[in-house]
Amino acid sequence: MPTPSEPLDRLGFLTIGSFDGADPRAGHETTLAMIELGERLGYDSAFVRHRHLQFGISSPVAVLAAATQRTSRIELGTAVIPLGWENPLRLAEDLATVDVLSGGRLNPGISVGPPMQWEHVRDALYPDTADVEDFGRERVSRLLRFVRGDAASTFSGTVGIETFSERVQPHAPGLAGRIWYGAASAGSAAWAGEQGLNLLTSNVVRAPGDGGTDFAAVQQGQILAFREAHPAGRVSQGLVVVPTDSATPTQRQRYSAYAEHRNARVGIPQGPAGLLFARDLVGTSDQIAESLYAHAAFREVREAVFALPFGFPHEDYVQIVTDIATRLGPALGWSPAR
């Protein structure tokens, strides 16, 4: 086993949050159970995905509000909220409320760009303003201003028996310092750093203009660009890792087939945006740790939020999350929180 120069300081996982459309409560309860399990295993954070008009979590802030009442220590995050679907002022109120309920444990991840399936949802989402909506970085700036306590209204005072504030209430001190940005390029990573955001990397990057297709090198470049702009900012990596230490033979076969199918796209830019996907890592914790130590981008981080794979039954996720905490984490020098 190679030994890193510095141990992994913080470990989290990103859970899928899938559900059966005919019985959505069961899937949401399973997501909450995974977060509770994460806290018992000593994880530092649990993140949930965001899926609109799919059979996945459409309202992660609401789900995490429930999670605040079932946990006491673990940080709770979103990866990521696409701001094209959101009103920044209303989202600021929701985030602040959940952060207060959690005792300051919320870590919202956000992103920009037009909503997915924009041509199909535009009339439902923005029936009167679709042609003039700005889905760029100004949406992030608005959210940050409101979270930080800048004025959202020109009025404050009392009218009758009601008292009004000029800024978002509740105000959640410290929340702005725990907002993460999902960047896909070195330019957007540097911009996130300039705004004082944290950087949430994943298993997807945008291929650079020079034609490079080495995922680890491209992601390393993004992290370095962020760090140059914001040396004190936090950076987390979110590769898909599937340890097999305690898996059954059937599970190992299922995991290997899943990764083999997805890894066929590695090194080949995908779609109009030229997206590059990381290789899914399947194997024993020692094997995965060795692969991570050889990963140029992983060597730049001290936090990881490993993503769970799609489409597996709950018992598989329990095995994977447990092995990450009890086998892979210690192999990376991480110690569970107490």
DSSP string, 235-275: EEB--BEEE-TT--HHHHHHHHHHHHHHHTTTTS-BTTTTE
What pLDDT, on a 0 to 100 scale, did the predictor assign at position 4?
62
On the question of pLDDT at 2 being above 80, the answer is no
What pLDDT, on a 0 to 100 scale, did the predictor assign at position 5?
66
Euclidean distance between CA atoms 280 and 278, whole angstroms? 6
Q: What angle (nearest 5°) sits at the alpha carbon of residue 262, between those of residues 54 and 185? A: 75
Give the residue-averaged pLDDT of 278-297. 97
List the one residue out of 27, 3, 39, 29 whose CA is nearest residue 321.
39
Asked if the structure places residue 257 within a domain, the reply is no
What pLDDT, on a 0 to 100 scale, did the predictor assign at position 210?
85
Asked if the structure places residue 315 within a domain, the reply is yes
- Partners of 13 in the beta sheet? 46, 306
What pLDDT, on a 0 to 100 scale, did the predictor assign at position 122?
98
With cut-offs at 50, 70 and 90, classify the pLDDT of residue 51.
Answer: very high
Expressed as residue numbers, the domain containing 140 is 10-152+164-248+265-331
Euclidean distance between CA atoms 44 and 325, whole angstroms? 10
Asked if the structure places residue 336 within a domain, the reply is no
CATH of the domain at 224: 3.20.20.30
Asked if the structure places residue 159 within a domain, the reply is no
Give the residue-averaged pLDDT of 64-74. 98
Asked if the structure places residue 138 within a domain, the reply is yes
Asked if the structure places residue 2 within a domain, the reply is no
Give the residue-averaged pLDDT of 50-74. 97
The total of structural domains in the chain comes to 1
Asked if the structure places residue 128 within a domain, the reply is yes
Asked if the structure places residue 259 within a domain, the reply is no
Instruction: Output the six-digit token pair for 193.
Output: 């750093």
The pTM (predicted TM-score) of the whole model is 0.96
Helix (H, G, I), strand (E, B) or coil at 234: coil
pLDDT (tens digit per residue) in 3-31 = 566 899 999 999 989 999 999 999 999 99
List the one residue out of 182, 154, 151 whose CA is nearest residue 169.
151
